[in-house]
């Protein structure tokens, strides 16, 4: 018997000469490509990414081959066992990579030479991913050989001599690696999936403490963790909550995906005749409108895939969760209960789906914002009343400054932030949240200042964001000033308010030597949303601020209403896309367009002006015109009706958002005024009437009242 390290001609030595490695790699490529009888343009998926290019299929060996040179890193040689198809990804079973020069023991394979000049492919046992070298050593069934590895001796697996027999030797190694991977830690997905088909009988038994619970919720997720990186993905199984569900499932999603996002799932048919491996979508609601949204989005996502042989429709159950899963399916593979494939195929299919998941996820994240903002909120798992969303978007449409007020935790900042996410893209964030400090006493907190000691201009995140918006004038940007009234707004924000009205630039400094711009114009595509929490640490807004904003009040919802939605709520019925396009709006025919209600509008504005003149809260031309612009935008949103029966709903919003916020004072000044206003609103403007009643109650108990309490 030859001693370790001996092959036919003697001991093996790892080669490290750059040109020699390149020459042998080329020889190996030529042999493998010559053996192939099918070549397609496709891809190879692996944990964390994919390779694209020519795939060489050796049908008599049942192995495909891909290769490319990664500059400064390695000669990449990938192998798999599924027959490749044009444009489709296949799962990499094994990589046999060589360093481009020298000795690099971090690369999995190497080229060795014997004293007679014969070359061999050797492997160090490093498979990458979740497979350690010790894991490979414990499970590899072949022999190890000691070779001269630079300045030391190392044990390696000799795959084979690089001659016409090397394809068979590589085939044997690839299938051995596949066996090792699919038997990792006793991996047996097939057996555990098959046990779930006992569910049909289990449903007749007691739900509480049933042994299938352990299988679906613990054993199956644990089994999948053997091939799905636990650090990157979350795996959860379910068979119902309190009662048996129609279809049990096991879902896989990456750790960053929200509850209602994209995920991979095993879905069992209700009749237990089979199960699907499905790439699917989440949604918080079973309403019919969501069914259509899911179907449309699935079709759009499929259009981004190359040719595939997966199912686009699945059949699970006629009720419950299954209806949503059927609509949300993007692609699926079906496994009949009597013909479950072996573990190797199950693993390969899952890895293929993981590769597709990684490809589609950024497209999905962008796509969920393409329906409309209201549905975007719901798909993100947030519930706001449709009228609030309408008022918010209408306000942004007519004036780029909105104040959101209400108790802490009512969703003010979150709504503004979600709108910012909605108008952003995967490569450009178009919103910024800036917490206002109690020490903000001048404009430098927004616009920065010139440091006279250094001659450098000290910018701020807000100023940087404004300048960023200026460079992208075709798209809206939203600046969110959180807890805006922690300091006196007029002290740090007056220049901004004046610039919004006048269109004049804001001076930043007057030093000609400073390379920072001396002034800045507020871009027309910039929206400012301020949030307001009212307590003893905050300050009232002045008329100058309130005149220039729509003030939207957030009510505190009951937990059940927030979690489940209000039973009377329905989606906004108007043209939300018109509202969301805040960059375009034509007001040229305002009076003609509103001619059917013009006299009534004028009468309403005259009444409120006259009633509020006594206590000193009458309003000027700016407020009048902004109310009219809001009403015109609402008319367009409502479909430009010739007879506008719904106008009072929007006038109600403007009374509450533009007129009532200015009111504040003692009982002797406001008692009769509030009564007159409430009587006028009664039966016609319910939101304003409710707010006036609340203000009256506050006035009676505290002898003083303001809109922003």
What pLDDT sits at residue 4? 37
Does 707 score more than 90 pLDDT? no
The two beta strands, 519-520 and 506-507, are antiparallel
pLDDT digits (tens, 9 = 90+) for 608-624: 999 999 999 999 999 99
Q: What is the mean pLDDT of residues 377-399?
A: 88
Percent of the chain with pLDDT over 70: 90
Q: What is the mean pLDDT of residues 680-689?
A: 96
Nearest to 216 by CA among 264, 252, 249: 249
Say if CB 238 and CB 224 are below 8 A apart: no
Does 286 score more than 60 pLDDT? no
More reliable by pLDDT, 121 or 91: 121
Grade residue 84 by pLDDT with cuts at 50, 70 and 90: confident
What pLDDT sits at residue 8? 46
Does 343 score more than 60 pLDDT? yes
What pLDDT sits at residue 206? 87
Q: What are phi and psi of 573, to 5 degrees?
A: -100, -5
Say if CB 527 and CB 381 are below 8 A apart: no
What is the spatial distance between Cα 528 and Cα 396, in angstroms, rounded to a whole number? 9
What pLDDT sits at residue 184? 57
More reliable by pLDDT, 455 or 256: 455
Q: What single string gives the DSSP state of each residue in 34-73?
A: HH-SEEEEEEEEETTEEEEEEEEEETTTTEEEEEEEETTT
Structural tokens at position 311 = 């199912």
pTM equals 0.57
What pLDDT sits at residue 69? 94
Say if CB 386 and CB 579 are below 8 A apart: no
Say if CB 480 and CB 417 are below 8 A apart: yes
Q: What is the mean pLDDT of residues 441-460?
A: 93
What pLDDT sits at residue 130? 65
Q: Packing angle between helix 386-398 and helix 647-654, nearest 10 degrees?
A: 70
What pLDDT sits at residue 40? 93
pLDDT digits (tens, 9 = 90+) for 532-573: 886 655 567 877 888 889 999 998 766 655 555 544 456 787
> Among 324-328, 459-463, 467-471, whose mean pLDDT is lowest?
324-328
* SS3 state at 268: strand
Q: What is the mean pLDDT of residues 394-409?
A: 91
What is the spatial distance between Cα 198 and Cα 216, in angstroms, rounded to a whole number? 12
What own/partner pairs with CB < 8 Å and gap ≥ 24 does 582-591 have?
Answer: 582/396, 582/397, 582/400, 582/476, 582/527, 583/474, 583/475, 583/476, 583/524, 583/525, 585/397, 585/398, 585/633, 587/629, 587/632, 590/628, 590/629, 590/632
pLDDT digits (tens, 9 = 90+) for 155-171: 999 999 999 999 999 99
Percent of the chain with pLDDT over 90: 57
> Among 100-104, 136-140, 520-524, whose mean pLDDT is lowest?
136-140
Burial (CB count within 10 angstroms: exposed 0-12, middle 13-18, buried 19+), residue 215: buried
What is the spatial distance between Cα 550 and Cα 401, in angstroms, rounded to a whole number? 7
Structural tokens at position 517 = 């711009």
What pLDDT sits at residue 5? 42
pLDDT digits (tens, 9 = 90+) for 61-72: 999 999 999 988
> Among 256-270, 428-442, 504-518, whose mean pLDDT is lowest?
256-270
Grade residue 372 by pLDDT with cuts at 50, 70 and 90: confident
More reliable by pLDDT, 407 or 403: 403
What pLDDT sits at residue 241? 81
Q: What is the mean pLDDT of residues 661-677?
A: 94
Nearest to 422 by CA among 467, 461, 372: 372
What is the spatial distance between Cα 187 and Cα 351, in angstroms, rounded to a whole number? 15
> Among 343-347, 500-504, 580-584, 633-637, whose mean pLDDT is lowest?
580-584
What pLDDT sits at residue 692? 96
More reliable by pLDDT, 90 or 334: 334
The residue with tokens 């209400």 is: 406
Domains contained in the chain, CATH given:
13-182 (no CATH), 189-367 (3.30.920), 386-572 (3.40.50.300), 586-709 (no CATH)
Structural tokens at position 483 = 């807890």
More reliable by pLDDT, 120 or 90: 120
What is the spatial distance between Cα 395 and Cα 626, in angstroms, rounded to a whole number? 9
Grade residue 2 by pLDDT with cuts at 50, 70 and 90: very low
- Tabulate helix, strand, coil % of the chain (nearest 5): 40, 20, 40
pLDDT digits (tens, 9 = 90+) for 198-222: 898 888 888 888 888 889 999 899 8
What pLDDT sits at residue 1? 33
More reliable by pLDDT, 99 or 225: 99
pLDDT digits (tens, 9 = 90+) for 463-520: 999 999 999 998 999 999 999 988 888 889 989 988 988 889 999 999 998 999 999 9
Does 528 score more than 70 pLDDT? yes
């Amino acid at each position: 018997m030859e001693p370790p390290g001996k092959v036919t001609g003697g001991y093996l030595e790892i080669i490290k000469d750059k040109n020699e490695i390149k020459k042998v790699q080329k020889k190996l490529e030529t042999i493998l490509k010559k053996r192939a009888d099918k070549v397609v343009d496709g891809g190879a998926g692996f944990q964390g990414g994919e390779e694209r290019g020519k795939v060489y299929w050796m049908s008599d060996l049942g192995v495909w081959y891909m290769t490319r040179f990664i500059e400064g890193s390695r000669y990449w040689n990938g192998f798999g066992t599924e027959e490749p198809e044009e444009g489709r990804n296949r799962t990499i079973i094994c990589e046999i990579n060589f360093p481009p020069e020298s000795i690099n023991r971090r690369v999995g394979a190497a080229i060795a030479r014997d004293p007679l000049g014969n070359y061999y492919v050797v492997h160090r046992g490093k498979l990458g991913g979740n497979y350690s070298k010790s894991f490979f050593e414990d499970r590899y069934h072949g022999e190890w050989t000691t070779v001269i590895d630079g300045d030391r001796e190392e044990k390696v697996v000799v795959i084979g001599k690089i001659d016409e027999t090397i394809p068979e030797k590589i085939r044997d190694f690839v299938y051995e690696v596949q066996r090792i991977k699919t038997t990792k830690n006793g991996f047996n997905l097939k057996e555990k999936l098959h046990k779930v088909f006992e569910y049909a009988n289990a449903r007749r038994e007691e739900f509480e403490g049933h042994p299938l619970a352990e299988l679906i919720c613990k054993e199956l997720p644990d089994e999948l963790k053997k091939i799905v990186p636990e650090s990157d993905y979350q795996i959860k199984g379910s068979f119902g909550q309190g009662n048996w569900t129609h279809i049990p499932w096991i879902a896989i999603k990456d750790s960053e995906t929200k509850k209602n996002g994209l995920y991979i799932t095993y879905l069992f048919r209700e009749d237990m005749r089979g199960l699907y491996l499905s790439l699917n979508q989440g949604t918080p609601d079973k309403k019919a409108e969501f069914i259509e949204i899911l179907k449309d989005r699935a079709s759009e996502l499929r259009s981004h895939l190359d040719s595939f042989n997966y199912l686009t429709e699945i059949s699970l159950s006629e009720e419950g969760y299954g209806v949503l899963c059927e609509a949300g399916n993007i692609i699926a593979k079906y496994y009949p209960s009597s013909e479950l494939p072996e573990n190797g195929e199950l693993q390969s299919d899952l890895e293929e789906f993981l590769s597709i998941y990684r490809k589609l996820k950024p497209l999905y994240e962008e796509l969920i914002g393409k329906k409309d903002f209201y549905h975007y909120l719901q798909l993100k798992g947030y519930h706001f009343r449709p009228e609030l969303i309408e008022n918010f978007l209408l306000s942004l449409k007519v004036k780029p400054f909105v104040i959101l007020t209400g108790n802490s935790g009512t969703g003010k900042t979150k709504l503004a932030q979600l709108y910012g996410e909605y108008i952003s893209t995967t490569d450009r964030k178009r919103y910024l949240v800036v917490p206002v400090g109690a020490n903000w006493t001048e404009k430098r907190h927004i616009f920065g200042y010139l440091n006279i000691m250094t001659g450098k201009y000290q910018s701020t995140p807000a100023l940087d964001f404004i300048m960023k918006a200026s460079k992208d004038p075709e798209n809206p940007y939203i600046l969110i000033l959180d807890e805006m009234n922690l300091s006196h707004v007029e002290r740090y924000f007056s220049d901004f308010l004046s610039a919004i009205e006048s269109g004049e630039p804001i001076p930043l400094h007057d030093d000609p030597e400073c390379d920072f711009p001396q002034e800045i114009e507020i871009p027309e595509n910039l929206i400012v949303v301020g949030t307001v929490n009212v307590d003893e640490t905050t300050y009232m807004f002045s008329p100058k601020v309130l005149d220039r904003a729509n003030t939207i009040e957030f009510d505190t919802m009951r937990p059940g209403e927030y979690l489940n939605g209000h039973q009377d709520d329905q989606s906004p019925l108007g043209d939300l896309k018109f509202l969301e396009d805040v960059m375009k709006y034509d007001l040229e025919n305002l009076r003609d367009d509103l001619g059917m209600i013009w006299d009534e509008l004028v009468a309403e504005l005259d009444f409120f002006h006259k009633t509020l003149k006594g206590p000193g809260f009458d309003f000027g031309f700016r407020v009048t015109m902004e109310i009219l612009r809001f009403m015109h935008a609402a008319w367009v949103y409502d479909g430009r009706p010739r007879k506008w029966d719904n106008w009072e709903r929007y006038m109600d919003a403007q009374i509450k958002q533009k007129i009532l916020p200015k009111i504040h004072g003692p009982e002797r000044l406001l008692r009769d005024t509030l009564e007159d206003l409430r009587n006028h609103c009664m039966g016609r403007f319910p939101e304003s009437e409710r707010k006036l009643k609340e203000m009256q109650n506050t006035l009676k108990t505290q002898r003083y009242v303001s809109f922003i309490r």
